[in-house]
Amino acid sequence: MSVDIIFKIAAIGILISVLNHVLNRAGREEISMMVTLAGIVVVLLMVIDMISKLFNNVKSIFQLY
């Protein structure tokens, strides 16, 4: 596993945090919440993909079909 995925998740978190702060200052709290939820969904999809790969590796190591 590379460190690249950690940097991607951190970059998404920083970007979402900045957008959240800017939108809250502009009085767009509803859009800010939607941006935050979209960021969470993107990160969760990345993590789910990694977990799927982990399970496939475990299945191939123990030769479970």
pLDDT digits (tens, 9 = 90+) for 27-44: 999 999 999 999 999 999
Specify the amino acid at residue 11: A
Identify which of 43, 45, 36, 48 has the alpha carbon closest to the alpha carbon of residue 7: 43
Domain span at residue 40 reads: 4-61
pLDDT digits (tens, 9 = 90+) for 5-27: 999 999 999 999 999 999 999 99
Look at the alpha carbons of 29, 33, 34, 36 in this order and tell me if their dihedral is positive or negative: positive
pLDDT reported for residue 2:
81
pLDDT reported for residue 65:
66
Count of domains observed in the chain:
1
pLDDT reported for residue 64:
79
